[in-house]
């Protein structure tokens, strides 16, 4: 259960698990508010997609839609897995319990609520009001990082039972390949000698794209032969496009939109830059480290994100010039490492996560 099926971090995590899990034992169905980029692949893998009204369609229609689904289908399921950013809406697990699903998983993928969210204060109020319900409706308590676990489960009585579930990826798909690097650069019209920065994520305020552009402007001043790849789409994209044009960087910042080949694109990214205002543990940071890219990320992101030595936390209180200097100093003459074994040993391989979740779904854990 989650909002939709577009290529966000949460959705990418779920799909990584879905591809890796033994589908002779476990099959996924999806209860969402809308179809999206992954819908076709889900149906090809044998999953069904059920739609319920979104919260903004009205409290009654949203709640009734979830209840109607479980009334009709609950007997078909061994487990229900709710993916959330906050506790502001946990109706799915309430209905799953009501209709007798034995395994009910709550899984957090963030560590705060964005203040840019409409009715932010209501979401935050509901988040805290629902804390006493957590141990009543869920049987398993998961989060993507320590910050996420604290955010969801502090003051619920179950924090000591909550488990960190690592955002596993198919590590071998991201191992650095110089030939693919050259292919991608040729496709994008980027010289082999250019410094390439990248960012993977939705265009929303918490991702802090405006500061990212400020940082790139300073990098570009130091290294004119540099490029920035922006992978994703969202509500602030037009604003960022205007900012890029205003700074005279239109040919140097490439807006690539939503892509299904992030593993290929990361082969050409020398440094992934993520100045988010807050995060849980973004899948893209694991992917970038698996690809051997340097990562420079804001220190508001969970420290659990750092899996290799090619990762630097920077403060959002520092200016863009400081960030640019960090990036330039740490990308000069650096060879791309093969981090695959290190990532796997850290437990961020989707096969390991899929095995753990299989045991949970079957009631063995």
Tens digits of per-residue pLDDT, 24-83?
999 999 999 999 999 999 999 999 999 999 888 887 899 999 999 999 999 999 999 999
Q: Give mean pLDDT, residues 282-308.
A: 93
> Binning pLDDT at 50, 70 and 90, where does residue 293 land?
very high
User: Is position 4 within any domain?
Assistant: no
Please tell me whether residues 14 and 72 are part of one structural domain. Answer: yes
Please tell me whether residues 94 and 179 are part of one structural domain. Answer: no
Between 123 and 230, the higher pLDDT residue: 230
pTM score above 0.75: yes
- Supply the CATH number for residue 15's domain: 3.40.50.2000
Q: Give mean pLDDT, residues 256-260.
A: 93
Domain count, the chain: 2
Given this model, what pLDDT does residue 332 score? 79
Helix then strand then coil, % of the chain, to nearest 5: 45, 15, 40
> Binning pLDDT at 50, 70 and 90, where does residue 364 land?
confident
Q: Which domain holds residue 260?
A: 171-345
Tens digits of per-residue pLDDT, 324-340?
999 999 997 677 889 99
Helix or strand (DSSP H, E) at 242: helix 237-246
User: Is position 256 within any domain?
Assistant: yes
pLDDT at 365 exceeding the cut of 90: no
Exposed/middle/buried for 233, CB within 10 Å: 0-12, 13-18, 19+?
middle
Please tell me whether residues 199 and 321 are part of one structural domain. Answer: yes
Q: Give mean pLDDT, residues 180-194.
A: 95
How far, in Å, CA of 116 to CA of 187, rounded? 36
Show the CA angle centred on residue 132, arms to residues 127 and 136, nearest 5°: 115
């Amino acid at each position: 259960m989650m909002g939709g099926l577009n290529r966000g971090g949460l959705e990418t995590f779920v799909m990584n698990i879905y591809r890796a899990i033994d589908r002779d034992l476990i099959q996924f169905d999806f209860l969402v508010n809308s179809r999206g980029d992954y819908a076709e692949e889900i149906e090809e893998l044998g999953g069904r997609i059920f739609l319920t009204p979104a919260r903004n369609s009205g409290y009654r229609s949203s709640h009734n839609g979830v209840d109607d689904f479980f009334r009709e289908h609950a007997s078909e399921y061994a487990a229900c897995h709710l993916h959330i950013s906050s506790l502001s809406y946990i109706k799915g697990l309430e209905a799953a319990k009501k209709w007798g699903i034995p395994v009910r998983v709550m899984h957090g993928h963030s560590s705060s609520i964005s203040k840019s969210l409409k009715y932010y204060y209501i979401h935050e109020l509901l988040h805290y009001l629902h804390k006493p319900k957590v141990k009543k409706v869920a049987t398993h308590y998961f989060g993507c990082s320590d910050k996420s676990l604290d955010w969801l489960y502090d003051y619920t009585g179950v924090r000591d039972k909550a488990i960190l579930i690592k955002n596993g990826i198919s590590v071998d798909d991201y191992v650095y390949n110089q030939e693919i690097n050259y292919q991608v650069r040729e496709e994008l019209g980027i010289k082999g000698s250019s410094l390439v920065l990248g960012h993977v994520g939705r265009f929303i305020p918490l991702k802090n794209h405006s500061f990212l552009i400020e940082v790139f402007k300073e990098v570009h001043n130091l290294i004119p032969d540099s490029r920035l790849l922006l992978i994703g789409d969202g509500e602030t994209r037009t604003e960022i496009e205007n900012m890029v044009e205003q700074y005279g960087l239109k040919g140097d910042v490439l807006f690539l939109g939503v892509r299904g080949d992030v593993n290929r694109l990361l082969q050409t990214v020398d440094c992934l830059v993520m100045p988010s205002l807050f995060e849980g543990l973004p899948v893209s940071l694991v992917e970038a480290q698996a690809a051997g890219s340097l990562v420079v990320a804001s220190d508001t992101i969970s420290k659990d994100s750092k899996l290799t030595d090619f990762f630097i936390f920077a403060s959002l209180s520092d200016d863009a010039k400081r960030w640019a200097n960090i990036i330039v100093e740490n990308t000069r003459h650096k060879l791309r490492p093969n981090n695959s074994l290190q990532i796997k040993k850290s437990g961020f391989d989707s096969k390991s996560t899929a095995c753990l979740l299989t045991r949970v779904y079957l009631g063995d854990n």
